[in-house]
Amino acid sequence: MKESLTTQIDKLKICLENKSNIVITVHRNPDGDAIGSSLGLYNYLKSFHNNVNIIVPNAYPQDLHFLDGDDTVINFDTHTELSTRIINEADILFVLDYNDITRTEDMAPILKDSKAVKVLIDHHPNPVLEADIAISDTSVSSTCELVYEACSRMDYHNMLPKSSANALYLGIMTDTGNFRHNCNNPRTFEIVARLLEAGAEKDMITGQIFESYTKNRMGLMGYCLNDGMTVLDEHNTAYIVINREAINKFNFKKGDAEGFVNIPLSIKNVYFSAIFIEFEQYIKISFRSRGQFAVNKFSNSYFNGGGHRNAAGGKSNSSLTDTLNKFLEKVKEHSDEIYY
C-alpha cells in the first residue's frame, strides 16, 4: 500500500477513537461498490461503535438489498428530515465511492454545511472535495478494496466480520464486472482471498447479482441485442438505445439495464460502447471502453458526466434524436482515439 494511504488510515484510527456519531454517505444511484463499501464499513464499525448510520441519496436496485445491515440504510429521498438531522449531528462523515459532493444532488447542501470531520474513501480520479482524511487511490479496482485496506490496517479484529467480508466482496465483484476488468493488480486477488477466509459467501453473492434476473430484464436484454444496438464498424464503436417504447414494453425497473453497456465490448474490434436510456425527465447515458479511449473525458466534454477512463456516466436533457446525433458527431471527431 502507498505510504500516503497508510498515514491517512492511521489518522482515521485516531479520529475514530475520539468521535461518536458516524455517518456514511454514498453517491446518488448507488451501485454495488457504493452499497458494498458502505455496508462493509458499517458492519465493521458496528462491532465497536454504537452510533453508525448509512445515508443514501436515493433508492437502489432490488438485487443489491441482501446484505446484513441493509435494513438500517436510510434513504434521503424518502426520509429527508431524519437524514438531515442525522447528518447535522455527525462528527465523522464518510464519503464513499465519490469525491464531489454534488454527486449526492439534493443532499449536497446539507453535506456542505456539516462541521464533521470528512473522510473520503474513493477510487475516482480528480477529487473535488477537500477532505480532512483522504484515502484516495485511482489504481485500485473499487472503493471496497480501500475500505478493506483501512479496516485491516486499523486492526481492531484479527479477522473482518463475515458481514463486512460479504459486502466488500460484492463491491469488488461488481466494479470489476465479475473480475473481468480493472483488476490486473495482484493485490485485488489477495484481498479477495482474505475476504473468502473471513467467510465471504462468493456463490451466494454471485447468485444474487448474476443469477437473479427477472423475465422482463432478460426480455430487455434480448431487445438490446436485436433491435437496440447499432455497431459503427468504421469507428470501433457500438451503442444501445432503450427508448420509451422499450421501457414500457419491458416494464423497466431501476437496475434492469445494469451492465448492458458492457455487452457491445464483447464484439470483436469494438473498443467504445455507450447506452442511452430515455427516461421521462432526461436521458441517462453510460460509456465504457477497452484500451486507450478516455470515456470520462468524452462524457465530461459533451454529456455532463465523468468517471473512470474506461467507465463513465453521463446525462442529456435534449431529445433522444438530438442526443444521438451529437454522440455520432463526437464519435466521428474522436474516431482516431478509439483503439486498443
Q: How far is the CB of 332 from Mn ion (least distance, A)?
A: 31
Cβ distance to Mn ion smaller for residue 58 or 84:
58
HEC profile of 293-304: CCHHHHHHHHCC
Distance CA 77, CA 68 (A): 22
H helices present in the chain, as ranges: 3-18, 32-46, 80-89, 108-113, 143-154, 162-175, 186-197, 202-210, 215-223, 244-249, 295-302, 320-334
> Residues in the site for Mn ion, rule: CB under 5 A?
33, 97, 142-143, 175
Q: How far is the CB of 17 from Mn ion (least distance, A)?
A: 28
Q: How far is the CB of 205 from Mn ion (least distance, A)?
A: 16
Q: How far is the CB of 124 from Mn ion (least distance, A)?
A: 7
Cβ distance to Mn ion smaller for residue 175 or 278:
175
Cβ distance to Mn ion smaller for residue 145 or 278:
145
Distance of CA 210 to the CA centre of its chain: 17
Cβ distance to Mn ion smaller for residue 236 or 299:
299
CB count within 10 Å of CB 287 equals 26
Cβ distance to Mn ion smaller for residue 182 or 237:
182
Count of alpha carbons within 13 Å of 285, Cβ hemisphere only? 29
Cβ-closest residue to Mn ion?
33
Look at the block and give the residue holding cell 479484529.
157
H helices present in 117-228, as ranges: 143-154, 162-175, 186-197, 202-210, 215-223
Provide the residue type at 109 as one letter: P
Q: How far is the CB of 284 from Mn ion (least distance, A)?
A: 17
